[in-house]
Amino acid sequence: MFRGLSPRPPLLKERGQGGEALFDLAFPLGYNKPVTETLSQTPGRAVVLLDENTANRIAAGEVIERPSSVVKELVENALDAGATRVEVELREAGKRGIVVRDNGCGMSRDDAVLALQRHATSKIRSADDLFDIRTLGFRGEALPSIASVSDLRIVTKRAEDDAATEIVVRGGDIISVTETGAPDGTTFVVENLFFNTPARLKFLKTTPTELNHAVDLLHRLSLAYHRIAFRLLHDGYEMFTYPGAADPLHAVAAVWGRDTAREMVPLRYESPALSVRGFVSKPSVSKATRTSQAMFVNGRYVRSRTMTHAFDTAFKHLMTTDRHPVCALFLDIAPELVDVNVHPTKIEVRFTRDGDVYSAVHHAVQDALLTGGLVPEVIVQPSLPATNSRAESNGLMPPRSALSSYARTEVELPEALTPLAPSPGAAGEGGVGMSAPFSPSPAGDARPAAWEKGPGDEGNPAPPAGDGRPLLGAGGADTSYIGFDGQRIGRLRVLAQSRNTYIVAETDDALLLIDQHIAHERVLYEQMMNGVTDTAANWGVVAQHLALPQTLHLAPREARVVEERREALARAGFIVEPFGGETFVVRAVPAVVANKDYLGVLRGIIEEMVTASVARRLLVPHEAAVIMASCKMAVKKGDPLTLEEMTRLLTDLAKMKNPFTCPHGRPILLSLPHREMDRKFHRIGPH
C-alpha cells in the first residue's frame, strides 16, 4: 500500500522524550504496522482504538505535510469549482495563516458540511470513476485533513442562494454553522496550522523555503490554467500576480520573465490518443537546474521520468553542457490511459502506454527545434587551423566563444605544474585514452618538474627552447616574460582540446591537461580583482558604463533577489537600477565582459543568486559575487576553442598570481611528466 512509502525517520527521536502526546508517536510509526501494535509498544499507556479524528490526522500527514500543501489543495478545489480568479494570502508563508478566495460555484450549506467528512467528494461517485479523472481533486480527503490540523473557517455562497454559509471548525470539530453575507464563491481561512501536531509543526521549513514552495505552486498553476487570474500576497506584499489571458505565453512571461518568454518556441504534437502542447526555450536560454521546467498531464503538474527523459534526449545533441532549457509542457491524454492515483500528492503518474508518451514528447520537442529554427550552427570541433583560417584571417566571422578577443599566440608558464590542490576525482576524468592516469602530486610538492630528473633518466638537461617544433604562430616577439614568485618559466605548446573541456598542452618536460573553464575563471577572477596587489586599498572591479542602458525583464522571484542584492552586483561591476515592476536597467557592466554577452552573464549570476537564496538567506559577500561573476563569464565545459583561443588563455593564465587553482580551490591543471610517461611505456634508456 502506498502509505508505507513515506519515510519519516527523524521523528523517531521523539520516542525517547517520553509520552508527551500520543499521536506524535503514532504519527511517525503508524504506517507499516497495525496502529494498535505500534501503540502497544509505548510503555505505560492503555491500548485504545484510534477514533476517526486521529485517522484523519494520519491522513493529513500525507496530503497535508506543509503549509504549501494546504494552499495546493485549496487552490485546486477553487479551480475544480470553476473559479476564474483565485487569491491566496499568506502570513509567514502560511505558517500563521492561509486565506484562499475564489469566485467559483460555491457550496450549499449541506454540501459544505458534508465536504468536511472524509471521502466526501462531489467529483467521483464510484471506484470506477477513479480511472476517468477529469478534475484535480477526487479523493475527498483534503478538507477533512486540513480541518483536523487547524482552525478552519469556510465562507461559501452559490449564485442561486441568497445568503452565504459560514462554518467554523477547530481540530476537526464543527464549532458553528451560520448564515452570513458574502459574494459568490468560496473563501477558506486556515489558521494555527498543525497546532495539534507539534511534531509536524517542529519540522516545518524556514519561511523563505515555504514561501518558495507556494510561489512555485502558483507559478505552475498559472502555466496550466493560463486563463485564470491568480494573485499571491505574503505578509501584505504581492509576490505574484497574473491577470489571466487567452494566450498561454502570457503566463510564461509572468512566471519566467518577458525576456525568457520571447525566447520560447511553441510545441505541438497530436495523435489520436494524446496531444502535447507548450513551449520550450531556444538553447540560448538555459538554466543550471531543472526548476524552470514544468510538465503537466491533463492540467496536473507532475514529475514523470518518461516525459523528462524524452525531453532530454530530444535536446541532447543541442546542449553539450549539463544545462536545462526552460519548458512548459502539457500532455493531454485520455484519462483512462493515465493513473494519477499513485502517490498521495498526485505528483507521480503512471502511463498505460509509456512508449507512446515518450515518443510524443520526443517528437514534439524535436519538431519544435527543427521548425522553430532552433538547431544552432553545427558545433565545430576544435578547429584545425585550415578549417577556419580563411574566415578568421579576413576578420569576417569572429569565433563565437567567450574568448573571442583572444588573438596572441605565445605562452609561457611556470614549470611547477603539478596542481597545488589535487582532487582525486579529477584525475580519472581527464583521460585522453591513456591507461596511466594523470596523477596530481601531493599539495606540498610544487617543485619544478625539471628538478626531479633522477639518475635513471636520460640525464640531459631540458633543452631550453623545446624540441625544435615551432611554437604556435611563432612570432616570438613576447618571449622574454619572466614568471611569478620566483618560479621558472617553461614554454608551452597547445596540442589539442579534449572533449571540448580540457586543453591538452605540453611543456619541455611534461604533458598537461588544463581545465578550460577553471583556467578562464581564474584569469577573469584575477582580472576583475584588478590584478590586485596585497594592499586592500587597491581593490576594485572596473565597470564600463553603457551608452545604451539595457533593460532586463525578470521573473518576480529574480526581481526580488536583484532588489536585495544590488550592492553585491555592483561590487562585481554590474550597476543595476530598478525601473518599476520586474524591470531593471543595467547602467554599467564589468569591463572584462563589456564586449561579450554581458546580459547573459548577468542573468546567470541572478539565477545562481536565486537558487542560493533558497538554500541560505545569506547576502552574497563582496568577493563571492566576483567569484560567481568570473565563473559565469568563463568559457564553459563543452565550448569548443580554437588553438589561438586556447593559446591566448594559457598566456593569460601564465600571468596569474596563482595559475594552479581556481577561486574555489579546484586544480586548474594536471601534469604527466615526460619522464613518467616514458617509464609507463617502458621507454627508459636510449631506444
Other CB atoms closer than 10 Å to residue 427's CB: what's the count?
Answer: 17
Residue of the chain from 176, 538, 551, 611 that contacts another protein (CB under 8 A): 538
Choose the binding region for ligand ADP from 121-129, 410-418, 470-478, 509-517 (rule: CB under 6 A): 121-129
- Rule CB under 6 A: say whether 104 interacts with ligand ADP: yes
Choose the binding region for another protein from 72-80, 205-213, 246-254, 373-381 (rule: CB under 8 A): 373-381
Distance in Å, CB of 77 to ligand ADP, minimum: 3
Strand bridging mode 300-301 / 502-506? unpaired
Instruction: Determine the Cα–Cα distance for residues 302 and 308; give it in Å rounded to an integer.
Output: 10
Size of the site for another protein (CB under 8 A): 48
- Rule CB under 6 A: say whether 73 interacts with ligand ADP: yes
The length of the chain is 687
- Rule CB under 6 A: say whether 108 interacts with ligand ADP: no
Q: Can you read off the three cell numbers belonging to residue 129?
A: 470513476
Residues 6+ apart with CB under 8 A from 642: 382, 383, 388, 392, 399
Choose the binding region for ligand ADP from 74-82, 224-232, 343-351, 544-552 (rule: CB under 6 A): 74-82
Angle (CA) 237-238-241 rounded to 5° is 175
Q: Helix (H, G, I), strand (E, B), or coil: what is residue 25? A: helix
For residue 78, the partner it binds in Mg ion, another protein, ligand ADP, none, with Cβ less than 5 to 8 A by kind, is ligand ADP
Instruction: Determine the Cα–Cα distance for residues 179 and 161; give it in Å rounded to an integer.
Output: 11
Q: Which is nearer to Mg ion, 141 or 210 (CB)?
A: 141
In the region spanning residues 475 to 514, those forming contacts with ligand ADP, defined by CB under 6 A, are none
- Rule CB under 5 A: say whether 144 interacts with Mg ion: no
- Beta carbons of 67 and 90 less than 8 angstroms apart: yes
Distance in Å, CB of 644 to another protein, minimum: 15
- Beta carbons of 507 and 491 less than 8 angstroms apart: yes
- Rule CB under 6 A: say whether 107 interacts with ligand ADP: yes
Residue of the chain from 17, 126, 394, 480 that contacts another protein (CB under 8 A): 394
For residue 139, the partner it binds in Mg ion, another protein, ligand ADP, none, with Cβ less than 5 to 8 A by kind, is ligand ADP
Residue 390, classified by CB atoms within 10 Å of its CB into exposed (0-12), middle (13-18) or buried (19+), is: exposed
- Rule CB under 8 A: say whether 12 interacts with another protein: no
Residues 6+ apart with CB under 8 A from 354: 306
Residue of the chain from 68, 77, 306, 418 that contacts ligand ADP (CB under 6 A): 77
For residue 624, the partner it binds in ligand ADP, another protein, Mg ion, none, with Cβ less than 5 to 8 A by kind, is none
- Beta carbons of 85 and 228 less than 8 angstroms apart: yes
- Rule CB under 8 A: say whether 487 interacts with another protein: no
- Rule CB under 8 A: say whether 573 interacts with another protein: yes
For residue 138, the partner it binds in another protein, Mg ion, ligand ADP, none, with Cβ less than 5 to 8 A by kind, is ligand ADP
- Rule CB under 5 A: say whether 383 interacts with Mg ion: no
Q: Helix (H, G, I), strand (E, B), or coil: what is residue 127? A: helix
Residue of the chain from 67, 137, 171, 172 that contacts ligand ADP (CB under 6 A): 137
- Rule CB under 8 A: say whether 384 interacts with another protein: no
Query: Which positions from 54 to 93 touch Mg ion by CB under 5 A, shown as an x/- string?
Result: -----------------------x----------------
Q: Which is nearer to ligand ADP, 117 or 359 (CB)?
A: 117
- Rule CB under 8 A: say whether 592 interacts with another protein: yes
Instruction: Tell me which H or E stretch contains 677.
Output: helix 674-680
Q: Which is nearer to another protein, 1 or 396 (CB)?
A: 396
Q: How far is CA 379 from the centre of its chain?
A: 25
For residue 388, the partner it binds in Mg ion, ligand ADP, another protein, none, with Cβ less than 5 to 8 A by kind, is another protein
- Rule CB under 8 A: say whether 380 interacts with another protein: yes
- Rule CB under 8 A: say whether 611 interacts with another protein: no
Choose the binding region for ligand ADP from 136-144, 226-234, 241-249, 466-474 (rule: CB under 6 A): 136-144
DSSP label at 466?
A: T
- Strand stretches in 418-465, DSSP E: none
DSSP label at 441?
A: P
Residue of the chain from 42, 117, 320, 404 that contacts another protein (CB under 8 A): 404
Distance in Å, CB of 94 to ligand ADP, minimum: 17
Other CB atoms closer than 10 Å to residue 236's CB: what's the count?
Answer: 7
DSSP string, 268-306: EEE-SSEEEEEEEE-TTSEESSGGGEEEEETTEE-B-HH
Residue of the chain from 119, 134, 317, 390 that contacts another protein (CB under 8 A): 390
Instruction: Determine the Cα–Cα distance for residues 399 and 247; give it in Å rounded to an integer.
Output: 38
- Beta carbons of 123 and 167 less than 8 angstroms apart: no
Q: Which is nearer to ligand ADP, 14 or 87 (CB)?
A: 87
Instruction: Determine the Cα–Cα distance for residues 627 and 542; give it in Å rounded to an integer.
Output: 15
- Rule CB under 8 A: say whether 395 interacts with another protein: yes
Distance in Å, CB of 120 to ligand ADP, minimum: 6
What interhelical angle do 622-633 and 598-615 show, nearest 10? 130
Residue of the chain from 541, 634, 641, 654 that contacts another protein (CB under 8 A): 541
Q: How far is CA 338 from the centre of its chain?
A: 28
Other CB atoms closer than 10 Å to residue 297's CB: what's the count?
Answer: 23
Residue at 453: amino acid letter: K
Residues 6+ apart with CB under 8 A from 590: 528, 541, 542, 543, 544, 572, 573, 574, 598, 629, 633
For residue 447, the partner it binds in Mg ion, ligand ADP, another protein, none, with Cβ less than 5 to 8 A by kind, is none
Instruction: Tell me which H or E stretch contains 510.
Output: strand 510-515
- Rule CB under 6 A: say whether 81 interacts with ligand ADP: yes
DSSP label at 221?
A: H
Output Rg (C-alpha) for the chain, integer angstroms. Answer: 31
For residue 122, the partner it binds in another protein, Mg ion, ligand ADP, none, with Cβ less than 5 to 8 A by kind, is ligand ADP
Instruction: Determine the Cα–Cα distance for residues 591 and 548; give it in Å rounded to an integer.
Output: 15
For residue 544, the partner it binds in ligand ADP, Mg ion, another protein, none, with Cβ less than 5 to 8 A by kind, is another protein
For residue 432, the partner it binds in Mg ion, another protein, ligand ADP, none, with Cβ less than 5 to 8 A by kind, is none
Residue at 475: amino acid letter: G
- Exposure pattern of 203-217 as b/e (b: 16+ CB <10 Å)? ebeebeebbbbbbbb
Distance in Å, CB of 108 to ligand ADP, minimum: 10
Q: Which is nearer to ligand ADP, 155 or 276 (CB)?
A: 155
Q: Helix (H, G, I), strand (E, B), or coil: what is residue 99? A: strand
Distance in Å, CB of 138 to Mg ion, minimum: 8
List residues binding another protein (CB under 8 A): 284, 377-378, 380, 387-388, 390-391, 394-398, 400, 404, 527, 530-533, 538, 540-548, 550, 570-571, 573, 575, 588, 590-592, 594-600, 655, 657
List residues binding Mg ion (CB under 5 A): 77, 137, 142
List residues binding ligand ADP (CB under 6 A): 73, 77-78, 80-81, 102, 104-107, 115, 120-123, 137-143, 186
